[in-house]
Each structure stands twice: as structure tokens, then as C-alpha cells.
Amino acid sequence: MHTPLSLQPGDAAARQAKSRYRSKWWWWVVLAGILALMGHRLGQIQGWLGNVMIAGPSMMPTLFCPTLQGNCPDCQSVQRFPPPDDLAENLTCWNCGQKYPPKSFQFQALPGDSVWIDRAAYRWNLMGWTLCNQEPQRGDLVAIADDTGIRVKRLVAVPGDTVSLEGNELQINARPLSEVVPGPLPRIPVHESRFPAFQQEPTPHADVSKEQGVSASQRWLKRPDGWLVYHHFSVHSKRSEPIRDDCPYNRDLTRHMNRVEAFGCEAAFTIEQPTEIEIACWQSSKTVSYKRSFAAGKHVVRFEQTGSAHGWSQTDRPASEIPVSETTPIAIHGLDAKADSPAILRIDREIHWFVSEHDRLEWQADRIVLPADRFFVVGDNQPNSADSRQAPSGIERQQIIGKVSRK
């Protein structure tokens, strides 16, 4: 008769240890797999381990290439532009139009902006498995590969969209790009004034010679009826003109400029007692004014032509009583600046993408429906960008190698 074997305490402990080891072993496998997956994903982001820097000016002011930066000796506005071939000539301030020798600016050399290029943002494959597959969207900043290398552009139209021209301005699905492309889109500076007191009319612009500019404080002139009126002055033609698609970053570019109407104004001021301020912007379709009440104190407010978007309400003032025009496009009533409470007024505009007469020769029709697998891209520095406006059939999907974001 055989005696059954009994399990010794040491055997049970060994089995429990082996069970715990197997359990930990699987956890290590899972953890290693997760880390490998994360490493592969991070490896698809160009610029993660090193710098990818913007080299060209086509995406300014969203992404800057290497630039020189300094302040105008007269109006103190920031001057920033790519280094020219020759800094011997006098420089013209984009804001006040004054000319100065380069040594007056005390320039600082700034590197190009650093970016990430996510090569797996739209399509991510691993060992034959597709882990991500999505299409680029309007508004995306994308990296494009072509014969010249890698370029960064803004994607504004996708397959099936209708790209058209209204005059010479680019539209998507019969609407301006600012209404179609998700924002925020960058704003282009038009003018900035910093001063304690506004000058009285009459305007001095008629007597300005071709070699002079108009100081920044001479753009806003106070009328006897209390309206503070902005007189737009072209630093190029040296005369009063409508606001055009000038870009302060393109110092050496000569081209035809286009009139624009979508602009806004930002004001920083201090008032001693509750005040109602009225502001008006000229538009070719309809000129109206808006008003808003302010408590005593410091304020930084923004106004755009839509008015109501920033808390402004439309007035019933007749257009004939509003002192604005093409060349005096903005007027403010109720704002008074004093020596102890200076005001800062900044005017900026939306980006408009235009097609030059030369590039229009490439358009077989004024309306083009993008076929499947075709995308339309542009540069934010629209007068200084080679993009789909020169080839309106768009770029192929395979040319888009990744999504770009600023570090």
C-alpha cells in the first residue's frame, strides 16, 4: 500500500513565485510594446530631437525666417524683415515713412522660427498596420515636398471645393478665405500711433514732399466737432491713399498693391470718468458707426467692422454725418488723450490673397473645382509666396508629408 505524497510548504511557495514571475513578465511585455509604439510615434515628428527652422519668408508673420529687428528712431515701431543683400541704403519705416541710415536702427539678428513636422498626423503606418489615416483640413499648416525641398504652406481648400476669383481676389466656395479657413488667421499691421495729444486739423499731407514721410502722430487729426479721424498715408507714394495690402516685412519687393476694406482698430487708453465712445469704419457698401460705454479707468479694446462681435452696438447716425472716406477710413468720437494718460491706437487688417496678372495666365477659368486627391495651398505672406495660385489645379495628396506646428 502506497502512501500518498504530501505537498511540502516549500513547493507551494515556489509555485506562487513562478505565477508572480509569469504575471510580471506579461506586464513587462505590454510595457515594452507601449514604449516601442510611443518611440515610433515620436520618431515621426521631425524636429523632436533637433531643430527644424523656417528658412524663407513666405509664411510671415505666422512663421518668421531669419530676420533683422529694430525700432524706428522716430515712431518706435518694430521693424522686422529678412536681411537684405545690402544694408547701405537708407531704410524707410513702414509705419511713419521716415528714412534713416541702417546704423540708426541698432538691429538685432533673430533666427528663424523652430517648428515640428508631424509626419504621422495624417497617415501613420507600422509594420503594415494603418494606425492613423485622416485627410488634411482647411487651415492646417502643412509641409510639402517638391523639387525645391520642403516648404510650409497653409491649406485653404480640399477636394470638391470650388476655387474662384472675385476680381483678382482668391475665394473658396464663393466666399472670402477669412470666412472659410478656420482661424485665427494672423493680422497684418497697418499703422500704430503713440502720443499724448492729437493734432488739430487741417491735415498737413498736401504739403509733404516726395522725400519726406508723415510722422505717426500726424495720422490721427482732431476735428472741431470732436471726431478723431485717421488719415491713411502711403509711405511708398507719399500721398493719402486707401488702405492696401502692404506688408511691412517685404522691404525690397516691388509690386502692384490692392485695396482692402477688412480692417480693425485696437485702442489702449485711460479715461477719468464714464464715457461713451463712438467709432466708425468706412466701407464701400455701407458706412455705419458703433458705440460702447466705458467706466473710468484703463481700457484695451478692439473694434472691427462687424462691431457687435466685440460688444459694440450700431448707432442710428446718418452716414452723411460720419467723417470717413476711402483715405480717412476710421473715425473715433469721445476719446481724448492727455499728457498724463496717453492713448495707443493700432490699425491692422485681414490677410487677403490676390492673384497677380502674371499668375492669372495659369488659370484656365475663373472657377476651378478641385478633383479628388488635390489640395490648394497658399503662403500667409501672400505677395511673396510661390503656391497654388501659380498652379491652380492644386498639389497632390502625396506631396503633403506632414502637419506643421510652431514650437
Q: Determine whether 24 is an active site residue.
A: no
**C-alpha grid cell, residue 125:** 503606418
5 vs 288, higher pLDDT: 288
State yes or no: pLDDT of 328 exceeds 70: yes
Phi, psi of 358 (to 5 degrees): -65, -45
Residue 10: its H or E element: helix 9-43
Q: Determine whether 58 is an active site residue.
A: yes
**What residue ranges in 241-390 does DSSP mark as E strands?**
263-271, 275-281, 288-294, 297-304, 313-314, 330-333, 343-349, 367-369, 374-378
| 72 pLDDT tier (thresholds 50, 70, 90) | confident
Please give the span between the terminal C-alpha atoms of the chain, in angstroms, as a whole number: 82
* H helix runs in 250-403, sequence order: 357-360
Catalytic position from the list 77, 153, 193, 289: 153
Distance CA 83, CA 73 (A): 19
pLDDT tens profile 104-160: 878 899 999 999 999 988 988 877 777 778 999 999 999 998 888 889 999 999 999
Selected from 2.10.109.10, 3.40.710.10, 3.30.499.10, 3.40.50.2300, the CATH number assigned to the domain covering 115-185+354-406 reads: 2.10.109.10
Catalytic position from the list 19, 23, 58, 325: 58
Q: Against a cut of 0.75, is the pTM above it?
A: yes
CB 334 within 8 A of CB 275: yes
370 vs 124, higher pLDDT: 370
Around Cβ 281, how many Cβ atoms within 10 Å? 25
If you ran DSSP here, which 8-state letter would residue 354 be given?
Answer: B
Which candidate, 189, 190, 269, places its Cα nearest to that of 231? 190
If you ran DSSP here, which 8-state letter would residue 41 be given?
Answer: H
If you ran DSSP here, which 8-state letter would residue 160 be given?
Answer: T
| pLDDT of 88 | 64
Distance CA 113, CA 80 (A): 13
CB 358 within 8 A of CB 368: no
77 contact partners, CB below 8 Å, separation of at least 6: 71, 93, 94, 95, 96, 192, 216
pLDDT tens profile 4-57: 545 455 565 555 555 555 566 777 777 777 887 777 778 788 887 778 899 999
* Domains of the chain by residue range: 53-113, 115-185+354-406, 188-248+257-349
**C-alpha grid cell, residue 100:** 534713416
Pairing of the two strands 297-304 and 400-406: unpaired
| pLDDT of 209 | 36
Distance CA 359, CA 389 (A): 7
Q: What is the mean pLDDT of residues 321-336?
A: 89
